[in-house]
Structure 1
Amino acid sequence: MITIATEKDSSSLNKLINSAYRGESSKKGWTTEAYLLEGLRTTEQELKGIISSEKNTILKFIESNALIGCVLLIEKQEQLYLGMLTVSPDLQNSGIGKKLLQHAEVFSTERGLSKIVMTVISVRSELISWYKRNGYRDTGLRESFPADGIHISISEQPLEFIVMEKLL
């Protein structure tokens, strides 16, 4: 079941997101960034702040009373920004991510937003290919990777974001 997350979900969302992106547990799945980045992907406090903003929505995927996936959606002018698409590392490749993408598209359309945009780390070729298979395209735009002391690169390659989009 996919529903909208509330502030009381912040702790479980934090555990899920960090388990899928960073650390040893993330290495069970194919979406890990553990070989590129150290530190946390997010914090419970950051998630509470995200959820409290009326322009932000986190959709959560619950199965058998367990949180197994989520996606952040941010309404920005005429488009929807999609981020933090997360599936539990043990359940990746089971169609959950695709279902969350489909719900994001319905969410966007219901709000009259005809485009979804996202950023993906440029060296994540397998993830970029997955988004392309799901109808997203590389816009050619690039954004700098943050050097903020939170996102700690351990990559020998320089990191940047590619901007992808899907017209609905």
Structure 2
Amino acid sequence: MSTTFTISAATKQDIMELDKLVNSAYRGDSSRAGWTTEADLLDGIRITAAGLNDILNKPGATILKATDQAGALAGCVYLEQQPDAMYLGMLTVNPQLQNSGIGKQLMYAGEDLAKKGGIYKMRMTVISVRDTLIAWYQRHGYHPTGEKQPFPNDPKFGLPKQQLEFIVMEKELNR
């Protein structure tokens, strides 16, 4: 794909577009157009506008967005500074644009942001049965730590269709 994308920090004016993008990429029939769908694992929504607002108000947290030349939202990633790492989550690409390198660009932009802040470790949680996604992260230097976390029992994160848990993955960044 030859389209150039600009990566910048999201603002509160982006919340409605981000809400639509994230939910369309992870849940429901629209998500099936891409390979990152969670529609077979979870019903309900992935995030709410209120949840996105909370993220944008949280100290040490940001959402980076990727937009095309016309300003259309193509993807996003959530980053949160932790005491010993930068948490990376909600890496999202419009299902119609997946496999075009946007996700990789957003992931690398998050890693660059961490290094600029003096943080040299990335951390994320991935649903343990998402083998294809886990393999994608492993190809980009992330590895399972062996730590597991329960999937939240809260409808604002979705309604599991089966028992789910997270694995924790990390990547050491070059200084």
- Establish whether TM, by shorter chain, passes 0.5: yes
- Tell me if 1:25 matches 2:47: no
- 2:143 maps to 137
Shift of 1:91: 0.5
Q: Cα offset for 1:149? A: 3.0
Query: In the alignment, is residue 154 of structure 1 matched against residue 161 of structure 2?
Result: yes
Corresponding residue to 1:112 among 101, 111, 118: 118
Gaps of 5+ in 1: none
Secondary structure class of the residue paired with 1:27: helix
Which consecutive segments of 4 or more residues in structure 1 shift more than 6 A? none
Task: Please state if 1:3 is matched with 2:8.
Answer: yes
Query: Separation in 1 of the partners of 2:82 and 2:13?
Result: 25
- How far apart, in 1, do the equivalents of 2:43 and 2:111 lie? 31
1:50-129 to 2 correspondence within 5 Å? 50-63=55-68, 64-129=70-135
Native 8 Å contact 1:7 1:52 kept in 2: no
From 16, 21, 32, the counterpart of 1:16: 21
CA distance in 1 between counterparts of 2:110 and 2:141 reads 13
Stretch moving more, 15-24 or 145-154: 145-154
1:54: Cα distance to partner?
2.2
Structure 2 length as normaliser, TM-score? 0.93
8 A Cα contact 1:21 1:31, kept in partner: yes
Report the secondary structure of 2:40's partner residue.
coil
Question: What amino acid does structure 2 have at the position aligned with 1:85?
Answer: L
Aligned equivalent of 2:39, options 27, 34, 42: 34
For residues 21 and 101 of structure 2, what CA distance do their matches in structure 1 show?
Answer: 17
CA contact (8 A) 1:114 1:167 kept: yes
Cα distance, 1:78 vs structure 2: 2.0
The answer to whether the 8 Å contact 2:44/2:155 transfers is no
CA RMSD of aligned residues (A): 0.7
Q: State the Cα distance separating 1:109 from its structure 2 match.
A: 0.1
Would the aligned equivalents of 1:20 and 1:88 in 2 still touch at CA under 8 Å? yes
SS, match of residue 10 in structure 1: helix
TM-score scaled to structure 1, two decimals? Answer: 0.97
Q: What fraction of aligned residue pairs are identical, expressed as a percent? A: 52
In structure 2, which of residues 54, 73, 77 is the aligned counterpart of residue 49 of structure 1?
A: 54
Contact kept? 1:68, 1:88, Cα under 8 Å: yes
